Chains A and B, each alone.
Chain A
Amino acid sequence: GENVEQHPSTLSVQEGDSAVIKCTYSDSASNYFPWYKQELGKRPQLIIDIRSNVGEKKDQRIAVTLNKTAKHFSLHITETQPEDSAVYFCAASSSNTGKLIFGQGTTLQVKP
């Protein structure tokens, strides 16, 4: 069935360092890959997304890469700041179904 694996489950970095979170998906029909940031007790917030016809997308300090052949996609955060500390979820979706299949989440801690 459809599955998204996310690693690592926890990540601790020093302020200013980079953070990388990786996901793999199983459904070949997946063509949309969003990333959400969730702070404690809050809603998931869409921070960046990528579609299958693009290999890389960047928005200021955040970038996402997609390797469709290997079914991998990754989130890169550069120059991390304490306010980047949160749980990050990757997800995959296809045009056929619409539903998001989420990874297990990565708790990112940025130490000042």
Chain B
Amino acid sequence: NAGVMQNPRHLVRRRGQEARLRCSPMKGHSHVYWYRQLPEEGLKFMVYLQKENIIDESGMPKERFSAEFPKEGPSILRIQQVVRGDSAAYFCASSQVQGGYEQYFGPGTRLTVT
């Protein structure tokens, strides 16, 4: 029973490049959440998606960030024109149903912007 999968585990990008982070939820889970953890800080909600729908993107920066969860394939968090301040660990979590239920986290993608 595979858990939440994320890739790549580590990603290095130069300023101005694009970063694509992928997340495959646990089997049977259709709800995906993305969180960002800045160095030495806590976890901040970014976006909540179900298949083909963005449910809540209240935590997403207004520019350069986008997310999708297509009918087939993993959820993708895309960061365009990365800046040094984007360097962080990006975790996705999945759950079986919305709200009030367990969310299980993937291993994270550690993005470093040089």
Contacts and interface: CB of A to CB of B under 8 A. Distances in A.
Interface of A: 31-32, 34, 36, 42-46, 49, 51, 89, 91, 93-105
Contact of B108 (A31, A36, A43): A43
A96 B99 contact: yes
Given A44-B43, A95-B100, A99-B33, 4 more contacts: A32-B99, A49-B102, A99-B58, A101-B45
Nearest to A6: B42
Contact of B56 (A32, A95, A99): A99
Interface in B8-25: none
Interface residues of B, number: 27
26 contacts: A32-B100, A32-B101, A34-B102, A34-B103, A43-B91, A43-B105, A49-B102, A89-B42, A91-B43, A93-B99, A93-B100, A96-B99, A97-B48, A98-B31, A98-B56, A98-B95, A98-B99, A98-B100, A99-B56, A100-B43, A100-B103, A101-B45, A102-B35, A102-B42, A102-B45, A104-B41
